[in-house]
Chain A
Amino acid sequence: MPKRRFTVALIGNPNCGKTSLFNQLTGANQRTGNMPGVTVSARFGEREHQGVEIHFVDLPGIYSLSQNRVEERVARDYLHETPPDLVLNVLDAGHLGRHLALTSQLLEQGVPMLLALNMLDEARRNGIQTDLEKLSAHLGVPVLPSDGRRRTYLDALLDALVNQLLHPGEPRTHSIRYDAAIECPIDALVTTGLQRWQAVRLLEADGDVPFACNEVQKRILQDALVEFDDEDEESPGERLVHGRYQWIHDLLQSVEQRQPGQAGIDDRLDRWALNQWLGVPLFFAVIWLMFEVTFTLGQVPADWIDAGFVGLGNGIASLLPDSLLKALLVDGIISGVGGVMVFLPNVVLLFLFMELIEQSGYMARATFLADRLMSRVGLHGKALVPLVMGFGCNVPAIMATRSIEEPRARLITILINPFMSCSARLPVMLLLSGVFFPQHAGTALFGIYVLGVVVAFAVAMILSRSLPTYYDETFLIELPPWRFPTWHSLMLHLWERSRFFLTKAGTVILFGSMLIWLLQTFPREGTSWLEQFGHWLTPLFTPLGFTWHETVALLSGFVAKEVIVSTLGVVYHAAGDNSAQLAQSLSATLDPAAGLALMVFTLLYMPCLATMAVIRREAGGWRWTLASTVVGLVLAWGAAWAAYNLGSLWL
């Protein structure tokens, strides 16, 4: 019986629309995971088409297979060690002049391949017409149109993939002729038994290749490097790259036609976004707007959800007789889980904004604006992305620091990430800013996020002066064109985040709420265990204006920060009524200065359990995890004390 299950790897330059196409190909049926043996993540997904099961792997975006960047090594090793049945090379039709350089390396290697030309519409608007048939004939591989934004070409692409998988044909390689000076060592290496693509790769990557070389081959490489070892002389790697680009230039002469296109809006947008006077204020305005909209627009559906849980709680209360079960359901589960669930719309809105910023291309512009400030505090410009991701969730944000290669800059970015207020802290901040600063809740929310950034930068500055640096990592980023985010990928992302939030509500928060209720309810006579424990710890928190209620809520937040809200709901018995009762109880117990101190403490204190685990893994041991926790606690206490005392004077 012929094979019916295949692996297809998507490969392409950054910003070629590869991940959007992967989303189209796999739908919601995908997951993120690590590539074997390395710390770079890739996405995996499945799809069945014409009875054939296709396992898709979305490799990180790369420019070349010969460079020593971590993403490039991952793709190179993946193709060498676990070769997929087919490579789907995704190219931006408007920028074939550069994207074909990677294609040429794959062709030289003889990888079974299919080319997908993305963004043909955009290219046509810019006056670029590509003859796909001619391109296919020149390269000897199928070339198909694709569109990560719409499903227009999806079925044809899947048909072609299945056809290619079931009838792969003879593997063939493609040779590029380079200049004579570099052809000599290539020929010498080929005579020692290497294949031509291996010889080219050995010279192009200065010997850093995934296959074994003998002493003769290493000596030929060394001789070539010595021969071209002059700053005025091009290295073998540069000569090979120039050869590729010459080949591409000649190829495009016959398959591409360029005419003046419509003037894009990119320049006009960049005039604002990159403006040396307006760029930074505009960036802050965008972030402020993000929090303002998250709070105000999210409030409407949040009220509906709240009303739903109130109705559910009242319904159960009226149906069941007074009992422990009724108390558990109403005061424990509905109060705890419902108290957190009402913030789902806000969390979704926050992620929607962050995804819009990322997908539109604005994040890369923000990285440019922030780099100077980042380098002043010992961070790399690339740290902006993990730090902004930290507003969503610290766990993937810390994993995203893998793109930073210099060890000190990476470690600092990991350690300061928990100060970025994640979406799990958003329910706490929304609750407290609404209760204590009702007229300026959006601004208070923005202020608390700014405080997190300021503390993160201050800690980064101290760490950068205390830890040894290894080398200065090159700052070299390509600004992607401005793009309208695709509705499909936005929804897919929001669905993923909502699912994560709902799963957490149904597991960690549900369990936490039940545990807190249990500790709050027993023993039946006298002071509850929870209150006893809270009173025991309260002296530590009295200088911050907190009571035992807040003390136990903060402790429970160690598991997950949303549990702080559910715990407050349980300890203040806010179940039978709506969340207004919790607000009322909080404002009756704490003054605004204590409310502010509670926000500050929640922002800065120890990372949650999942974040601690990922710090341990990414920073390489418990030492840094412990340091992160202790520093967070000390900073949180000090900053909350200052906020309480200063707030008592002004609020």
Chain B
Amino acid sequence: MACVPLSEMNKQHSGQILRLRGSRSLRQRLAAIGILKGQPVSLKATTLWGGPRVYTIGQHQYCLRHEEACQIEVQLADIADCA
């Protein structure tokens, strides 16, 4: 699968943000803090009990819950096309 929600990335994956989904206010919030289409992204840390995860997006580290992370669509690296 070429495109995955950010929440489904694992530590072996890297990619870049393809699009932001969800409500307009969430999308604008994400964009305002620098989570934008085209930014490189990777997973940095997880917790044992399914809590939030830390992602490296651009040059910054963000901590996001599943609910928000699943609204960010990521194109994984080394995979030619995206549905």
Contact = CB atoms under 8 A, between A and B. Distances in A.
Interface of A: 63-64, 66-68, 94-95, 97-98, 101, 204, 206, 229, 231-232, 234-235, 237-238, 241-242, 245, 270, 274-277, 279, 364, 367-369, 371-373, 375, 381, 472, 474-479
B47 A276 contact: yes
A381 B58 CA distance: 23
Nearest to A65: B32
Contacts of A274: 44-45, 54
Given A241-B36, A274-B54, A475-B63, 19 more contacts: A63-B32, A63-B33, A94-B59, A98-B60, A101-B32, A206-B24, A206-B28, A229-B24, A231-B21, A231-B22, A270-B54, A279-B45, A364-B63, A368-B52, A368-B54, A371-B47, A372-B52, A375-B65, A475-B52
Contacts of A97: 34, 58-59
Given A98-B58, A474-B26, A368 B63 contact: yes
B64 interface: yes
Given A235-B27, A476-B68, A477-B62, A372 B33 contact: no
B67 interface: yes
A115 B82 CA distance: 42
B2 interface: no
Given A237-B28, A476-B63, A479-B63, A372 B50 contact: yes
Contacts of A68: 25
A373 B25 CA distance: 26
Interface in B23-44: 24-34, 36-37, 44
B62 A64 contact: no
Contacts of B28: 67, 204, 206, 235, 237-238, 241
Contact of A475 (B32, B44, B47, B64): B64
Nearest to B19: A232
B10 interface: no
B52 A67 contact: no
B26 A279 contact: no
14 contacts: A64-B32, A67-B28, A232-B19, A237-B27, A237-B31, A238-B27, A238-B28, A276-B48, A279-B47, A368-B52, A369-B51, A372-B47, A381-B63, A479-B54
Nearest to A277: B48
A477 B51 CA distance: 14
B20 interface: yes
Contacts of B61: 270, 478-479
Interface secondary structure of B, over-half rule = mixed
B59 A95 contact: yes
Contacts of B34: 63, 97-98, 101, 245
Of all A-B residue pairs in the complex, the 9 with the closest CB atoms, nearest first, are A372-B51, A274-B45, A479-B61, A237-B28, A241-B31, A98-B34, A64-B32, A475-B65, A368-B63
A88 B67 CA distance: 37
Given A238-B20, A371-B52, A372-B47, A67 B32 contact: yes
Given A242-B37, A371-B51, A479 B62 contact: yes
A381 to B, nearest CB: 7
Contacts of A98: 33-34, 58-60
B56 to A, nearest CB: 9
Nearest to A239: B31
B45 to A, nearest CB: 4
Contacts of A232: 19
B62 A478 contact: yes
A367 B65 CA distance: 12
B45 A368 contact: yes
B60 A276 contact: no
A232 B73 CA distance: 12
Nearest to A67: B32
A474 B65 CA distance: 8
Contacts of B62: 476-479
Contacts of B48: 276-277
A73 to B, nearest CB: 13
A231 B27 CA distance: 10
Contacts of B21: 231
Contacts of B45: 270, 274-276, 279, 368
